[in-house]
Amino acid sequence: MRLEAILREARAGLASATARVAAVLGAALVLVLVTTGIDRLVIAQSVDRAFEFQARGGAVQVVSAPGGIDGSRCEGLSRLDGVSSAGALSHLDGRRASAAVLPDAPFALPRVTPAFVDVLGGRRPSAVGIVLSAELADATELVPGDALHLVVGGSTRPSPTVVAILDVPADVHRAGLGYSALDVAPSSGVFDECWVEVWPPDPNLRPMLFLSVSQGASSEAPVIEQLVPRLGDGTAIAGAYGERITRGAPALLLTGALALGFFSVRLRRTELSSARHAGVSAVDVLAVVLAETMVWASSVGLLAVACSTAVMASVDQLANGARAGLVDAAVLVLGVIIGATAGCLTVRERDFARYSRDR
């Protein structure tokens, strides 16, 4: 049978059996929603928890070595696998300042390297200047490009330019950063702390963080601590994907697709054995069945892609959601094709009479 004839027979078969096709499509849709849909919802929740943990500063490790942190080496840690960003901070003996417009509201004025802003979820400033916390910016009504008239130790300091506004996470209480002005300086020189965002948590990476310490620059032994310890170390959150209750969804999808393909053909055993009895070859019968199966299986596969993409897009993972959906669609179509082929091979011409009686 030629390809044109196979496609014509497949089209006629689909058009003449709308009830059966609708039932099979309905079962396939339920299978996709139960596997792909629920699995993506669980994954999206895990991703959302991970994003929230990082946004609150939970992934930041602080290497403390007063006067012993090399700013350039600290920022260089960002080149390590698993390190998202790294920047140095110097407390300058707790130096505080006030704005000329708010002389009675002093704020912290730590010195930081440019990449320090990245660690707290901001955008690295392109120039040296002052980065205001959002709270201080609201109080002074300053925006990037404005001059901040500083009073330090009772004397007026040359007015630096505000280069950025940083929304400091509410859980970060260290160094008074919630109400502060960060004095962005070149990374050359020494600092007191190196803040490193590590995700996912990796205990093997911990010793590497000490590379930010200058040899012999501090008499105190450097220590590493978590920026926001009350959030936990994030191990459970990072491992939530691999431990999710729906991790068996792909296997369930494949099993369901095999069964669906098999039984969608077995429901037609009388019709197919009749065709064989009428002289149609087994290869031609299989070709028509597979053509029909590809049509509805591909349609449901597209739904799997759309479902996966839509759910993952809610957590800014559209591309990953689309890729996972394509994998699910391929598993579905492959399973259905194999099941349909197996079902077709079990239909025998000599059993036509028995199929007719059972019908």
Respond yes or no on whether the N-terminal peptide bond of residue 229 is cis (omega within 30° of 0).
no
Residue-level pLDDT, tens digit, the chain, 359 residues: 554 544 454 454 444 545 567 788 889 999 999 999 999 999 999 999 999 999 999 999 999 999 899 999 999 999 999 999 999 999 876 678 888 888 888 999 999 999 999 999 888 888 888 999 999 999 999 999 999 988 877 677 778 899 999 999 989 888 789 999 999 999 988 999 999 999 999 989 999 999 999 876 556 788 999 999 999 989 999 999 889 999 999 999 999 999 999 988 877 766 666 665 565 666 776 777 788 888 888 989 999 999 999 999 999 999 999 999 999 999 999 999 999 898 888 776 554 445 444 55
The pLDDT value recorded for residue 220 is 73
Output the average pLDDT for the chain: 85
Question: Global pTM?
Answer: 0.82
Q: Residue 144: what residue type? A: P
Q: Does residue 336 contact residue 257 with C-beta atoms inside 8 Å?
A: yes
Residue type, 230: R
* Predicted pLDDT of residue 231: 92
Residue type (1 letter), 40? R
d(CA 127, CA 160): 11
Distance CA 245, CA 239 (A): 12
Per the CB < 8 A criterion, the answer to whether 352 and 274 are in contact is yes
Distance, CA of 26 to CA of 29 (rounded, Å):
5
- For the record, the structure tokens of 336 come out as 């259905």
Tokens of 354: 């028995």
Residue 350 structure tokens: 């000599």
Convert the pLDDT of each residue in 100-146 to its tens digit.
888 888 999 999 999 999 999 888 888 888 999 999 999 999 999 99
Domain spans of the chain, in order of start: 3-51+241-358, 58-227
Given a contact cutoff of 8 angstroms between Cβ atoms, the answer to whether 121 and 195 are in contact is: no
Instruction: Report DSSP state, residue 213.
Output: B
Interatomic CA distance for residues 292 and 10, integer angstroms? 5
Round to the nearest angstrom and report the end-to-end CA distance of the chain: 28
